[in-house]
Structure 1
Amino acid sequence: MKTVMIKTHEAWLEMLMAGFMSTTENRQVLVDFSDILFRHFTWIENELIVTQESYSYDRDAIPIRVERLSDILHSIIRHLNELDLQLIGLEDKALAERISSDIHYMTSVLHGMEDETVTAFSMARTFPGISLTQEATDALTLFLFEETYKEYELIMIYNYLKAHSDDAYLNRIFQILIDESFFHLKRFCDMGAKMGILAVPRVVMKELYQIEDVTQFLKDGINEELAAKEECKKLSEAVAKDSEELARFFDFINYQENYHISLMTDALAYYAKETDA
Protein backbone atom coordinates (compact mmCIF):
# COMPACT_ATOMS: atom_id res chain seq x y z
CA MET A 1 0.00 0.00 0.00
CA LYS A 2 2.94 2.32 0.63
CA THR A 3 3.87 2.06 -3.04
CA VAL A 4 0.33 3.03 -4.01
CA MET A 5 0.58 6.07 -1.76
CA ILE A 6 3.91 7.15 -3.27
CA LYS A 7 2.63 6.75 -6.82
CA THR A 8 -0.54 8.66 -5.98
CA HIS A 9 1.57 11.45 -4.47
CA GLU A 10 3.62 11.65 -7.66
CA ALA A 11 0.55 11.54 -9.90
CA TRP A 12 -1.07 14.36 -7.90
CA LEU A 13 1.93 16.65 -8.37
CA GLU A 14 2.41 15.69 -12.01
CA MET A 15 -1.25 16.46 -12.74
CA LEU A 16 -1.05 19.76 -10.85
CA MET A 17 2.05 20.86 -12.75
CA ALA A 18 0.42 19.86 -16.04
CA GLY A 19 -2.46 22.16 -15.17
CA PHE A 20 -0.16 25.16 -14.99
CA MET A 21 1.53 24.23 -18.26
CA SER A 22 -1.79 24.72 -20.02
CA THR A 23 -3.08 28.09 -21.16
CA THR A 24 -6.44 26.80 -22.42
CA GLU A 25 -9.58 25.34 -20.90
CA ASN A 26 -7.49 22.22 -20.21
CA ARG A 27 -5.99 24.00 -17.22
CA GLN A 28 -8.99 23.94 -14.91
CA VAL A 29 -9.75 20.30 -15.71
CA LEU A 30 -6.19 19.26 -14.91
CA VAL A 31 -6.10 21.26 -11.68
CA ASP A 32 -9.46 19.77 -10.66
CA PHE A 33 -8.12 16.29 -11.38
CA SER A 34 -5.08 17.03 -9.22
CA ASP A 35 -7.45 17.86 -6.36
CA ILE A 36 -9.09 14.45 -6.82
CA LEU A 37 -5.71 12.74 -6.70
CA PHE A 38 -4.81 14.58 -3.51
CA ARG A 39 -8.00 13.24 -1.94
CA HIS A 40 -6.98 9.75 -3.06
CA PHE A 41 -3.63 10.38 -1.39
CA THR A 42 -5.32 11.21 1.92
CA TRP A 43 -7.62 8.18 1.70
CA ILE A 44 -4.68 5.84 1.19
CA GLU A 45 -2.79 7.53 3.99
CA ASN A 46 -5.73 6.92 6.30
CA GLU A 47 -5.70 3.23 5.41
CA LEU A 48 -2.01 3.05 6.30
CA ILE A 49 -2.76 4.65 9.66
CA VAL A 50 -5.69 2.29 10.32
CA THR A 51 -3.53 -0.75 9.51
CA GLN A 52 -0.67 0.75 11.57
CA GLU A 53 1.82 0.68 8.71
CA SER A 54 4.70 3.11 8.95
CA TYR A 55 5.06 5.50 6.04
CA SER A 56 6.59 8.78 4.94
CA TYR A 57 5.99 11.36 2.24
CA ASP A 58 9.15 10.40 0.36
CA ARG A 59 8.78 10.15 -3.41
CA ASP A 60 10.88 10.05 -6.54
CA ALA A 61 11.81 13.08 -8.61
CA ILE A 62 9.08 14.07 -11.06
CA PRO A 63 10.40 15.12 -14.49
CA ILE A 64 7.94 17.55 -16.03
CA ARG A 65 9.96 19.61 -18.53
CA VAL A 66 8.18 19.21 -21.88
CA GLU A 67 7.57 21.26 -25.00
CA ARG A 68 4.09 19.92 -25.75
CA LEU A 69 1.25 19.30 -23.30
CA SER A 70 0.60 15.93 -24.92
CA ASP A 71 3.99 14.72 -23.66
CA ILE A 72 3.08 15.24 -20.00
CA LEU A 73 -0.45 13.93 -20.58
CA HIS A 74 0.91 10.68 -22.02
CA SER A 75 3.18 10.39 -18.99
CA ILE A 76 0.29 10.96 -16.58
CA ILE A 77 -1.91 8.43 -18.38
CA ARG A 78 0.86 5.84 -18.18
CA HIS A 79 1.41 6.48 -14.49
CA LEU A 80 -2.31 6.37 -13.72
CA ASN A 81 -2.67 3.07 -15.57
CA GLU A 82 0.24 1.64 -13.58
CA LEU A 83 -1.37 2.92 -10.39
CA ASP A 84 -4.68 1.34 -11.36
CA LEU A 85 -3.00 -2.06 -11.63
CA GLN A 86 -1.40 -1.64 -8.20
CA LEU A 87 -4.81 -1.02 -6.62
CA ILE A 88 -5.51 -4.73 -6.96
CA GLY A 89 -3.36 -5.29 -3.88
CA LEU A 90 -5.41 -3.02 -1.61
CA GLU A 91 -7.28 -4.83 1.15
CA ASP A 92 -10.06 -2.24 1.12
CA LYS A 93 -11.76 -3.23 -2.13
CA ALA A 94 -14.35 -0.47 -1.90
CA LEU A 95 -11.58 2.12 -1.70
CA ALA A 96 -9.75 0.51 -4.60
CA GLU A 97 -12.92 0.59 -6.70
CA ARG A 98 -13.56 4.27 -5.95
CA ILE A 99 -10.04 5.26 -6.91
CA SER A 100 -10.04 3.02 -9.98
CA SER A 101 -13.32 4.52 -11.18
CA ASP A 102 -11.85 8.02 -10.91
CA ILE A 103 -8.70 6.94 -12.73
CA HIS A 104 -10.68 5.45 -15.62
CA TYR A 105 -12.64 8.66 -16.06
CA MET A 106 -9.61 10.92 -15.79
CA THR A 107 -7.57 8.95 -18.30
CA SER A 108 -10.46 8.97 -20.76
CA VAL A 109 -10.63 12.78 -20.51
CA LEU A 110 -6.85 13.17 -20.82
CA HIS A 111 -6.88 11.06 -23.99
CA GLY A 112 -9.26 13.55 -25.58
CA MET A 113 -7.49 16.77 -24.60
CA GLU A 114 -6.26 19.03 -27.36
CA ASP A 115 -2.51 19.48 -27.53
CA GLU A 116 -0.82 22.83 -26.96
CA THR A 117 2.64 24.34 -26.85
CA VAL A 118 4.16 24.62 -23.38
CA THR A 119 6.06 27.79 -22.45
CA ALA A 120 6.19 27.19 -18.68
CA PHE A 121 9.91 26.25 -18.88
CA SER A 122 11.13 28.99 -21.21
CA MET A 123 13.13 30.73 -18.45
CA ALA A 124 12.04 34.02 -20.00
CA ARG A 125 11.44 35.49 -16.53
CA THR A 126 9.04 38.06 -17.91
CA PHE A 127 5.53 38.60 -16.60
CA PRO A 128 2.81 38.97 -19.25
CA GLY A 129 1.82 42.58 -19.79
CA ILE A 130 4.19 43.89 -17.12
CA SER A 131 7.70 45.29 -17.58
CA LEU A 132 9.67 44.67 -14.40
CA THR A 133 13.11 46.01 -13.55
CA GLN A 134 15.93 43.48 -13.20
CA GLU A 135 15.83 43.97 -9.44
CA ALA A 136 12.10 43.29 -9.27
CA THR A 137 12.43 40.31 -11.62
CA ASP A 138 15.15 38.76 -9.47
CA ALA A 139 13.16 39.36 -6.28
CA LEU A 140 10.02 37.83 -7.77
CA THR A 141 11.93 34.83 -9.16
CA LEU A 142 13.52 34.05 -5.80
CA PHE A 143 10.22 34.53 -3.98
CA LEU A 144 8.36 32.13 -6.28
CA PHE A 145 10.99 29.40 -5.99
CA GLU A 146 11.11 29.66 -2.21
CA GLU A 147 7.41 30.10 -1.54
CA THR A 148 6.25 27.39 -3.96
CA TYR A 149 8.26 24.91 -1.93
CA LYS A 150 7.17 26.45 1.37
CA GLU A 151 3.46 26.15 0.56
CA TYR A 152 3.92 22.53 -0.54
CA GLU A 153 5.83 21.87 2.67
CA LEU A 154 3.01 23.36 4.74
CA ILE A 155 0.41 21.25 2.93
CA MET A 156 2.41 18.14 3.80
CA ILE A 157 2.92 19.19 7.43
CA TYR A 158 -0.68 20.14 8.14
CA ASN A 159 -1.98 17.12 6.27
CA TYR A 160 0.20 14.83 8.38
CA LEU A 161 -0.92 16.52 11.60
CA LYS A 162 -4.56 16.26 10.56
CA ALA A 163 -4.20 12.61 9.54
CA HIS A 164 -2.84 11.74 12.98
CA SER A 165 -5.34 13.76 15.00
CA ASP A 166 -8.84 12.83 16.14
CA ASP A 167 -9.52 16.29 17.56
CA ALA A 168 -12.28 18.04 15.59
CA TYR A 169 -11.26 21.54 16.72
CA LEU A 170 -7.64 21.13 15.67
CA ASN A 171 -8.53 19.33 12.45
CA ARG A 172 -10.75 22.24 11.45
CA ILE A 173 -7.75 24.56 11.84
CA PHE A 174 -5.41 22.18 10.02
CA GLN A 175 -7.85 21.86 7.11
CA ILE A 176 -8.20 25.62 6.77
CA LEU A 177 -4.42 25.97 6.74
CA ILE A 178 -4.16 23.22 4.10
CA ASP A 179 -6.73 25.03 1.96
CA GLU A 180 -4.93 28.35 2.37
CA SER A 181 -1.60 26.80 1.39
CA PHE A 182 -3.20 25.17 -1.64
CA PHE A 183 -4.49 28.55 -2.76
CA HIS A 184 -1.04 30.10 -2.41
CA LEU A 185 0.70 27.14 -4.06
CA LYS A 186 -1.59 27.32 -7.07
CA ARG A 187 -1.20 31.08 -7.44
CA PHE A 188 2.59 30.88 -7.18
CA CYS A 189 2.75 27.98 -9.66
CA ASP A 190 0.58 29.98 -12.04
CA MET A 191 2.92 32.95 -11.77
CA GLY A 192 5.97 30.72 -12.18
CA ALA A 193 4.52 29.15 -15.32
CA LYS A 194 3.78 32.57 -16.80
CA MET A 195 7.40 33.58 -16.17
CA GLY A 196 8.73 30.33 -17.64
CA ILE A 197 10.15 29.04 -14.34
CA LEU A 198 7.63 26.38 -13.30
CA ALA A 199 9.20 23.69 -11.11
CA VAL A 200 8.12 20.78 -8.92
CA PRO A 201 8.73 21.48 -5.23
CA ARG A 202 11.50 19.39 -3.73
CA VAL A 203 10.75 16.49 -1.40
CA VAL A 204 9.90 17.46 2.18
CA MET A 205 12.14 15.83 4.79
CA LYS A 206 10.20 13.63 7.18
CA GLU A 207 11.69 15.43 10.17
CA LEU A 208 9.65 18.47 9.19
CA TYR A 209 6.22 16.80 9.29
CA GLN A 210 6.73 13.96 11.77
CA ILE A 211 6.52 16.48 14.58
CA GLU A 212 7.08 15.48 18.18
CA ASP A 213 6.50 18.89 19.77
CA VAL A 214 3.48 20.45 18.07
CA THR A 215 3.47 23.40 20.48
CA GLN A 216 7.00 24.38 19.49
CA PHE A 217 6.14 23.85 15.84
CA LEU A 218 3.23 26.28 16.13
CA LYS A 219 5.40 28.86 17.90
CA ASP A 220 8.04 28.55 15.20
CA GLY A 221 5.32 28.65 12.55
CA ILE A 222 3.96 31.94 13.86
CA ASN A 223 7.44 33.44 13.66
CA GLU A 224 7.80 32.13 10.10
CA GLU A 225 4.48 33.69 9.13
CA LEU A 226 5.63 37.01 10.57
CA ALA A 227 8.79 36.73 8.48
CA ALA A 228 6.70 35.85 5.43
CA LYS A 229 4.69 39.03 5.95
CA GLU A 230 7.90 41.03 5.75
CA GLU A 231 8.96 39.24 2.57
CA CYS A 232 5.60 40.00 0.97
CA LYS A 233 5.90 43.62 2.02
CA LYS A 234 9.39 43.88 0.53
CA LEU A 235 8.27 42.26 -2.71
CA SER A 236 5.25 44.54 -2.94
CA GLU A 237 7.54 47.53 -2.59
CA ALA A 238 9.99 46.10 -5.15
CA VAL A 239 7.34 45.69 -7.86
CA ALA A 240 5.15 48.69 -6.96
CA LYS A 241 6.76 51.14 -9.36
CA ASP A 242 6.39 48.66 -12.24
CA SER A 243 3.05 47.04 -11.47
CA GLU A 244 0.31 48.21 -9.15
CA GLU A 245 -1.48 44.92 -9.85
CA LEU A 246 1.39 42.78 -8.54
CA ALA A 247 1.91 45.10 -5.57
CA ARG A 248 -1.76 44.72 -4.60
CA PHE A 249 -1.48 40.94 -4.92
CA PHE A 250 1.48 40.70 -2.55
CA ASP A 251 -0.19 43.08 -0.12
CA PHE A 252 -3.17 40.71 -0.25
CA ILE A 253 -0.91 37.73 0.53
CA ASN A 254 0.69 39.73 3.32
CA TYR A 255 -2.69 40.38 4.94
CA GLN A 256 -3.69 36.73 4.56
CA GLU A 257 -0.74 35.80 6.76
CA ASN A 258 -2.55 37.56 9.62
CA TYR A 259 -5.32 34.98 9.39
CA HIS A 260 -2.81 32.13 9.39
CA ILE A 261 -1.15 33.58 12.48
CA SER A 262 -4.55 33.86 14.17
CA LEU A 263 -5.37 30.23 13.40
CA MET A 264 -2.01 29.01 14.68
CA THR A 265 -2.41 31.13 17.81
CA ASP A 266 -5.82 29.53 18.39
CA ALA A 267 -4.30 26.07 17.96
CA LEU A 268 -1.47 26.95 20.33
CA ALA A 269 -3.92 28.13 23.00
CA TYR A 270 -5.98 24.98 22.53
CA TYR A 271 -2.92 22.77 22.98
CA ALA A 272 -1.98 24.68 26.12
CA LYS A 273 -5.49 24.26 27.54
CA GLU A 274 -5.50 20.53 26.77
CA THR A 275 -2.08 20.11 28.36
CA ASP A 276 -3.15 21.92 31.53
CA ALA A 277 -6.44 20.03 31.80
Structure 2
Amino acid sequence: MKALFIEVHEAWLATLFTGFMSKTQNKQKLYDFSDILFRHFTWLENDMVKQNIAYDYNRKQVPIKVATLDVMLHDIQKRLTTILELLDSCNDKAITHRMKSDLNYIVSVLKTLPNEEVTSAFDAKREYPNVTLNEEACNALTLFLFEESYKEYELIMVYNYSKANSNDAFLNRIFQILIDESIFHLRSFGQMMSEMGILATPRVLMEEIYKFDDLEQFLKDGIQEEMGAKEACKKLSEAVSANSAEFASFFDFINNQENYHIALMEEALANLNQ
Protein backbone atom coordinates (compact mmCIF):
# COMPACT_ATOMS: atom_id res chain seq x y z
CA MET A 1 0.00 0.00 0.00
CA LYS A 2 2.78 2.43 0.90
CA ALA A 3 4.65 1.62 -2.32
CA LEU A 4 1.46 2.30 -4.28
CA PHE A 5 1.00 5.60 -2.47
CA ILE A 6 4.54 6.72 -3.30
CA GLU A 7 4.18 5.75 -6.96
CA VAL A 8 0.98 7.79 -7.29
CA HIS A 9 2.64 10.78 -5.61
CA GLU A 10 5.54 10.66 -8.06
CA ALA A 11 3.28 10.08 -11.08
CA TRP A 12 1.18 13.10 -10.11
CA LEU A 13 4.27 15.32 -10.01
CA ALA A 14 5.66 13.90 -13.25
CA THR A 15 2.37 14.50 -15.05
CA LEU A 16 1.84 18.00 -13.66
CA PHE A 17 5.35 19.18 -14.50
CA THR A 18 5.19 17.62 -17.95
CA GLY A 19 2.14 19.81 -18.44
CA PHE A 20 4.22 22.86 -17.55
CA MET A 21 6.77 22.15 -20.27
CA SER A 22 4.19 21.63 -23.03
CA LYS A 23 3.27 24.51 -25.32
CA THR A 24 0.48 22.77 -27.21
CA GLN A 25 -2.95 21.30 -26.55
CA ASN A 26 -1.13 18.51 -24.71
CA LYS A 27 -0.89 20.87 -21.73
CA GLN A 28 -4.58 20.76 -20.81
CA LYS A 29 -4.74 16.98 -21.15
CA LEU A 30 -1.77 16.63 -18.82
CA TYR A 31 -3.28 19.07 -16.33
CA ASP A 32 -6.53 17.11 -16.36
CA PHE A 33 -4.69 13.83 -15.81
CA SER A 34 -2.60 15.32 -13.00
CA ASP A 35 -5.84 16.36 -11.28
CA ILE A 36 -7.10 12.78 -11.52
CA LEU A 37 -3.85 11.41 -10.11
CA PHE A 38 -3.98 13.83 -7.20
CA ARG A 39 -7.48 12.61 -6.40
CA HIS A 40 -6.16 9.03 -6.48
CA PHE A 41 -3.44 10.13 -4.08
CA THR A 42 -5.97 11.53 -1.61
CA TRP A 43 -8.22 8.46 -1.85
CA LEU A 44 -5.34 6.15 -1.02
CA GLU A 45 -4.30 8.41 1.82
CA ASN A 46 -7.81 8.42 3.27
CA ASP A 47 -7.91 4.63 3.06
CA MET A 48 -4.63 4.37 4.98
CA VAL A 49 -5.95 6.74 7.63
CA LYS A 50 -9.08 4.60 8.01
CA GLN A 51 -6.91 1.50 8.43
CA ASN A 52 -4.54 3.24 10.87
CA ILE A 53 -1.61 2.63 8.54
CA ALA A 54 1.31 4.94 9.35
CA TYR A 55 2.49 6.83 6.29
CA ASP A 56 4.47 9.85 5.15
CA TYR A 57 5.11 11.87 2.01
CA ASN A 58 8.63 10.60 1.37
CA ARG A 59 9.39 9.90 -2.28
CA LYS A 60 12.21 9.86 -4.77
CA GLN A 61 13.10 12.97 -6.72
CA VAL A 62 11.22 13.09 -10.03
CA PRO A 63 13.58 13.82 -12.97
CA ILE A 64 11.96 15.80 -15.78
CA LYS A 65 14.79 17.38 -17.79
CA VAL A 66 14.23 16.11 -21.33
CA ALA A 67 14.57 17.40 -24.88
CA THR A 68 11.26 16.11 -26.23
CA LEU A 69 7.89 15.53 -24.61
CA ASP A 70 7.61 11.92 -25.72
CA VAL A 71 10.32 10.95 -23.23
CA MET A 72 8.15 12.15 -20.37
CA LEU A 73 4.99 10.70 -21.89
CA HIS A 74 6.66 7.28 -21.98
CA ASP A 75 7.95 7.81 -18.44
CA ILE A 76 4.45 8.59 -17.18
CA GLN A 77 3.02 5.55 -18.97
CA LYS A 78 5.65 3.39 -17.28
CA ARG A 79 4.79 4.91 -13.90
CA LEU A 80 1.09 4.28 -14.42
CA THR A 81 1.75 0.68 -15.45
CA THR A 82 3.63 0.19 -12.18
CA ILE A 83 0.69 1.65 -10.28
CA LEU A 84 -1.69 -0.75 -12.02
CA GLU A 85 0.53 -3.65 -10.94
CA LEU A 86 0.39 -2.47 -7.31
CA LEU A 87 -3.35 -1.85 -7.08
CA ASP A 88 -4.01 -5.16 -5.34
CA SER A 89 -2.23 -3.80 -2.27
CA CYS A 90 -5.27 -1.56 -1.67
CA ASN A 91 -8.14 -3.45 -0.05
CA ASP A 92 -10.81 -0.95 -1.04
CA LYS A 93 -12.09 -2.48 -4.26
CA ALA A 94 -14.21 0.56 -5.12
CA ILE A 95 -11.05 2.68 -5.17
CA THR A 96 -9.01 0.16 -7.12
CA HIS A 97 -11.77 -0.39 -9.69
CA ARG A 98 -12.03 3.36 -10.29
CA MET A 99 -8.26 3.83 -10.41
CA LYS A 100 -7.81 0.96 -12.84
CA SER A 101 -10.40 2.43 -15.19
CA ASP A 102 -8.87 5.91 -14.96
CA LEU A 103 -5.30 4.72 -15.44
CA ASN A 104 -6.07 2.52 -18.42
CA TYR A 105 -7.81 5.43 -20.09
CA ILE A 106 -4.98 7.87 -19.31
CA VAL A 107 -2.37 5.47 -20.71
CA SER A 108 -4.41 5.03 -23.89
CA VAL A 109 -4.61 8.80 -24.39
CA LEU A 110 -0.94 9.43 -23.57
CA LYS A 111 -0.01 7.07 -26.40
CA THR A 112 -1.80 9.35 -28.86
CA LEU A 113 -0.44 12.73 -27.76
CA PRO A 114 1.81 14.35 -30.36
CA ASN A 115 5.46 14.87 -29.58
CA GLU A 116 6.94 18.34 -29.13
CA GLU A 117 10.34 19.85 -28.46
CA VAL A 118 10.62 21.12 -24.87
CA THR A 119 14.27 22.12 -24.41
CA SER A 120 13.28 25.74 -23.79
CA ALA A 121 11.82 24.72 -20.42
CA PHE A 122 15.35 23.89 -19.23
CA ASP A 123 17.68 26.20 -21.19
CA ALA A 124 18.20 28.59 -18.23
CA LYS A 125 17.97 31.63 -20.51
CA ARG A 126 15.77 33.38 -17.93
CA GLU A 127 13.93 35.26 -20.64
CA TYR A 128 10.17 35.70 -20.61
CA PRO A 129 8.23 35.87 -23.89
CA ASN A 130 7.45 39.41 -25.02
CA VAL A 131 8.92 40.91 -21.83
CA THR A 132 12.33 42.52 -21.44
CA LEU A 133 13.55 42.25 -17.86
CA ASN A 134 16.55 44.09 -16.49
CA GLU A 135 19.01 42.12 -14.36
CA GLU A 136 17.42 43.17 -11.07
CA ALA A 137 13.94 42.17 -12.19
CA CYS A 138 15.18 38.91 -13.72
CA ASN A 139 17.02 37.92 -10.54
CA ALA A 140 14.03 38.84 -8.38
CA LEU A 141 11.66 36.83 -10.54
CA THR A 142 13.99 33.81 -10.67
CA LEU A 143 14.40 33.70 -6.90
CA PHE A 144 10.69 34.19 -6.33
CA LEU A 145 9.70 31.36 -8.68
CA PHE A 146 12.09 28.84 -7.13
CA GLU A 147 11.06 29.72 -3.59
CA GLU A 148 7.34 30.02 -4.17
CA SER A 149 6.91 26.96 -6.40
CA TYR A 150 8.40 24.86 -3.61
CA LYS A 151 6.31 26.71 -1.04
CA GLU A 152 3.07 26.06 -2.91
CA TYR A 153 3.90 22.35 -3.23
CA GLU A 154 4.66 22.33 0.49
CA LEU A 155 1.34 24.00 1.29
CA ILE A 156 -0.61 21.55 -0.87
CA MET A 157 0.90 18.66 1.04
CA VAL A 158 0.58 20.26 4.48
CA TYR A 159 -3.08 21.16 4.02
CA ASN A 160 -3.77 17.80 2.42
CA TYR A 161 -2.21 15.92 5.34
CA SER A 162 -4.14 18.06 7.81
CA LYS A 163 -7.40 17.43 5.96
CA ALA A 164 -6.82 13.68 5.72
CA ASN A 165 -6.19 13.45 9.45
CA SER A 166 -9.04 15.66 10.64
CA ASN A 167 -12.69 14.84 11.24
CA ASP A 168 -13.64 18.49 11.61
CA ALA A 169 -15.86 19.39 8.63
CA PHE A 170 -15.43 23.12 9.25
CA LEU A 171 -11.64 22.92 9.16
CA ASN A 172 -11.63 20.50 6.24
CA ARG A 173 -13.66 22.96 4.16
CA ILE A 174 -10.96 25.56 4.78
CA PHE A 175 -8.13 23.11 4.09
CA GLN A 176 -9.71 22.16 0.76
CA ILE A 177 -10.00 25.79 -0.32
CA LEU A 178 -6.35 26.35 0.57
CA ILE A 179 -5.31 23.21 -1.34
CA ASP A 180 -7.17 24.42 -4.43
CA GLU A 181 -5.61 27.88 -4.14
CA SER A 182 -2.10 26.45 -3.79
CA ILE A 183 -2.59 24.19 -6.80
CA PHE A 184 -3.54 27.26 -8.85
CA HIS A 185 -0.46 29.12 -7.63
CA LEU A 186 1.83 26.15 -8.30
CA ARG A 187 0.48 25.90 -11.84
CA SER A 188 0.97 29.61 -12.41
CA PHE A 189 4.53 29.62 -11.09
CA GLY A 190 5.44 26.32 -12.76
CA GLN A 191 4.31 27.66 -16.10
CA MET A 192 6.39 30.79 -15.58
CA MET A 193 9.43 28.68 -14.66
CA SER A 194 9.02 26.77 -17.90
CA GLU A 195 8.80 29.99 -19.89
CA MET A 196 11.98 31.22 -18.16
CA GLY A 197 13.83 27.97 -18.87
CA ILE A 198 14.25 27.10 -15.18
CA LEU A 199 11.67 24.34 -14.69
CA ALA A 200 12.43 21.92 -11.84
CA THR A 201 10.40 19.69 -9.54
CA PRO A 202 10.25 20.56 -5.83
CA ARG A 203 12.48 18.85 -3.31
CA VAL A 204 11.10 16.23 -0.93
CA LEU A 205 9.36 17.54 2.18
CA MET A 206 10.75 16.91 5.62
CA GLU A 207 8.25 14.97 7.70
CA GLU A 208 8.14 17.51 10.52
CA ILE A 209 6.77 20.14 8.13
CA TYR A 210 3.40 18.45 7.70
CA LYS A 211 3.22 16.32 10.85
CA PHE A 212 2.63 18.66 13.78
CA ASP A 213 0.89 18.44 17.14
CA ASP A 214 -0.28 22.02 17.63
CA LEU A 215 -2.83 23.07 14.99
CA GLU A 216 -3.35 26.46 16.59
CA GLN A 217 0.35 27.28 16.35
CA PHE A 218 0.45 25.94 12.80
CA LEU A 219 -2.33 28.32 11.80
CA LYS A 220 -0.65 31.25 13.52
CA ASP A 221 2.61 30.45 11.75
CA GLY A 222 0.69 30.06 8.50
CA ILE A 223 -0.75 33.55 8.83
CA GLN A 224 2.74 34.95 9.29
CA GLU A 225 3.96 33.02 6.23
CA GLU A 226 1.09 34.37 4.15
CA MET A 227 2.00 37.88 5.25
CA GLY A 228 5.56 37.14 4.16
CA ALA A 229 4.28 35.91 0.81
CA LYS A 230 2.32 39.14 0.40
CA GLU A 231 5.47 41.14 1.02
CA ALA A 232 7.40 39.02 -1.49
CA CYS A 233 4.72 39.60 -4.12
CA LYS A 234 4.73 43.33 -3.39
CA LYS A 235 8.51 43.56 -3.75
CA LEU A 236 8.44 41.54 -6.96
CA SER A 237 5.66 43.68 -8.38
CA GLU A 238 7.76 46.76 -7.68
CA ALA A 239 10.87 45.16 -9.20
CA VAL A 240 9.18 44.22 -12.48
CA SER A 241 6.75 47.15 -12.79
CA ALA A 242 9.17 49.22 -14.88
CA ASN A 243 9.62 46.31 -17.30
CA SER A 244 6.15 44.83 -17.50
CA ALA A 245 2.81 46.23 -16.42
CA GLU A 246 1.36 42.75 -17.05
CA PHE A 247 3.77 41.15 -14.58
CA ALA A 248 3.17 43.85 -12.00
CA SER A 249 -0.58 43.36 -12.32
CA PHE A 250 -0.24 39.57 -12.01
CA PHE A 251 1.79 39.73 -8.81
CA ASP A 252 -0.59 42.30 -7.34
CA PHE A 253 -3.35 39.80 -8.16
CA ILE A 254 -1.47 37.01 -6.34
CA ASN A 255 -0.74 39.36 -3.44
CA ASN A 256 -4.42 40.12 -3.01
CA GLN A 257 -5.29 36.43 -3.03
CA GLU A 258 -3.10 36.00 0.04
CA ASN A 259 -5.54 38.24 1.94
CA TYR A 260 -8.24 35.60 1.60
CA HIS A 261 -5.85 32.86 2.72
CA ILE A 262 -5.13 34.87 5.86
CA ALA A 263 -8.86 35.39 6.45
CA LEU A 264 -9.48 31.65 6.12
CA MET A 265 -6.79 30.78 8.64
CA GLU A 266 -8.08 33.43 11.03
CA GLU A 267 -11.52 31.86 10.64
CA ALA A 268 -10.05 28.44 11.44
CA LEU A 269 -8.30 29.87 14.50
CA ALA A 270 -11.52 31.43 15.74
CA ASN A 271 -13.28 28.08 15.32
CA LEU A 272 -10.59 26.33 17.38
CA ASN A 273 -10.90 28.85 20.19
CA GLN A 274 -14.68 28.68 20.54
The verdict on a shared fold, with TM-score over 0.5 as the criterion, is yes
- What secondary structure, in the 3-state scheme, does the structure 1 residue paired with 2:23 have? coil
Do structure 1's residue 44 and structure 2's residue 40 form an aligned pair?
no
* TM-score normalised by structure 1 residue count: 0.98
Runs ≥4 in structure 1, deviation > 6 angstroms?
none
Counterparts of 2:204 and 2:71, CA distance in 1: 23
* TM-score normalised by structure 2 residue count: 0.99
Counterparts of 1:236 and 1:89, CA distance in 2: 49
The Cα shift of 1:60 comes to 0.5
Counterpart AA for 1:11? A
The Cα shift of 1:247 comes to 0.2
Map 1:115-194 to 2 at 5 A. Answer: 115-118=115-118, 119-194=120-195
The count of corresponding residues between Structure 1 and Structure 2 is 273
CA shift digits 1:27-81 (9 cap, x unpaired):
0000110000000000000111111100000000111100000000000001100
Do structure 1's residue 74 and structure 2's residue 63 form an aligned pair?
no
Map 1:87-126 to 2 at 5 A. Answer: 87-118=87-118, 119-126=120-127
- What secondary structure, in the 3-state scheme, does the structure 2 residue paired with 1:189 have? helix
The Cα shift of 1:271 comes to 0.8
Which ranges in structure 1 are unaligned for 5 or more consecutive residues? Answer: none
Which residue of structure 2 lines up, in the alignment, with residue 26 of structure 1? 26
Counterparts of 1:151 and 1:62, CA distance in 2: 17
The Cα shift of 1:89 comes to 2.5
Is the contact made by 2:4 and 2:89 (CA closer than 8 Å) also made in structure 1?
Answer: no
Counterpart AA for 1:171? N
The Cα shift of 1:204 comes to 1.0
Which residue of structure 1 lines up, in the alignment, with residue 15 of structure 2? 15
Do structure 1's residue 234 and structure 2's residue 235 form an aligned pair?
yes
Counterparts of 1:177 and 1:79, CA distance in 2: 28
Which ranges in structure 2 are unaligned for 5 or more consecutive residues? Answer: none
The Cα shift of 1:246 comes to 0.1
Counterparts of 1:225 and 1:81, CA distance in 2: 39
Is the contact made by 2:150 and 2:203 (CA closer than 8 Å) also made in structure 1?
Answer: yes
Which residue of structure 2 lines up, in the alignment, with residue 261 of structure 1? 262
Counterpart AA for 1:203? V
Counterpart AA for 1:266? E
CA shift digits 1:197-238 (9 cap, x unpaired):
111011111101111001001111111111111110000000
Counterparts of 2:228 and 2:95, CA distance in 1: 41
Counterparts of 1:251 and 1:94, CA distance in 2: 44
CA shift digits 1:63-102 (9 cap, x unpaired):
1100000000000001100110110222112211110110
Which residue of structure 1 lines up, in the alignment, with residue 63 of structure 2? 63
